[in-house]
Amino acid sequence: MEQTWRWFGPDDVIQLLHIRQTGATGIVTALHHIPYGVVWSIEEIEARKALIAADASLGLRWSVVESLPVHEAIKIGEGDLEPLFDNYRQSLRNLARCGVTTICYNFMPVLDWTRTELAHPLPGGGTALRFNAHEYAAFDCFMLERPGAEAELSPEVLARAKDWFDRSSESDRRKLLANIMAGLPGAFDRYDIPGLRRMLDRYREVDAQRLRENLARFLYEVIPVAEEVGVRMAIHPDDPPRPLMGLPRIVSNDEDLAYIVGAVDSPSNGITLCTGSLGAGPMNDVPAIAKRFASKIHFAHLRNVAKEPDGSFMEADHLGGDTDMVSVVTTLLEEQQRRKNAGNPNWRIPMRPDHGHELLDDVGKPTHPGYPAIGRLKGLAELRGVMTAVSSMRGLPL
């Protein structure tokens, strides 16, 4: 597999030379400064490519776009969408012309990944991302005051949520809001409570079925162009894979993925296998999902989570947690072998170590939440070891 690394661009604390030290050679990045719905011009794409390749001794290339965002109006199905579809298609053409042909995107309404703690303490002084069910419930029920939210909770979680809210300070509540907003590294909107309510109100008539239909329409509009220019679209699963704040989630399990890849039958219509996002769903068998959709996996995020009975979960070590990572890696290497045997020139699957603990000298540095250097370096080293061992034992290409 091609070992890649997410880089947030020129302002990222982690520099390209640091990435090369990890052993990764592929860069996963996006033009976060361009507003959603605006065309990514060839000039902007080439400027980012040139920045990545400026030091030839590093041997880095722009391997994957993460993400080319889908405008919120497309998800809602709101207004005249043709200009937005036209712009998205043009961005795909421009990326293909510049040789960047793997595109990760998501269809999560309003928020991307969601956590309530960004620095949960670990033994020895490290920190991890964590989703606490009672804190999320406190936000939804008592800060956002969403009608009907309390009825969706177990009595135990609701009681803990009320206790947290009653004891919390204004500072605690501001921090919880900021943590929940932190999964939007490239977004131009950071909602306050009134703004979030207004955004949710735009989704008032959008249930899971309508959101699914809006996703299907998006695929009908863009996948033919993606196939024409040789772009591989890879949808990212919901994180966490459950409804949030009354918003539906439609990329949460194997049935959702089956619908998506079947909506438009094309080699360009595929998925990002995110083992952490899918792994946060109690009913998801991630190794089985990897096997079922192996031929549709265009990109892989490899990380692990440890789940708790109340719906809470925490980012675990990459080889810890609830998902059998050896099984997943084996499936990906076997799929690579199948593609290579079939003569596919793009047989390698790009992967990256997703999220990581804050460790050692990274503790307290202003890195993007979940994306410190040392924790991801540790994860990549562990995953590389698994990849090498499985490859050697089974005679599979790396």
Q: Which residues are catalytic?
A: 236, 274, 301, 354-355, 371
Q: Which amino acid is at 226?
A: A
d(CA 358, CA 315): 11
H-type alpha helices, 64-207: 72-76, 82-97, 133-138, 155-167, 170-181, 193-202
Phi and psi for 3 in degrees, rounded to 5?
-85, 120
Pairing mode, strands 102-105 and 232-235: parallel
d(CA 393, CA 390): 5
d(CA 202, CA 247): 11
Query: Cα–Cα distances in Å, from 324 out to 13, 157, 304, 328?
Result: 32, 29, 9, 7
β-partners of residue 293 are none
281: which residues sit within 8 A by CB, 6+ positions away?
240, 241, 242, 252, 253
Biggest distance spanned by C-alpha atoms of the chain: 62
Q: Which amino acid is at 190?
A: R
Phi and psi for 397 in degrees, rounded to 5?
-75, 140
- Closest Cα to residue 146, out of 225, 244, 64? 244
d(CA 315, CA 339): 32
Pairing mode, strands 350-353 and 2-6: parallel
Identify the residue whose tokens are 């735009």.
Answer: 202
Query: Cα–Cα distances in Å, from 196 out to 34, 96, 237?
Result: 22, 35, 22
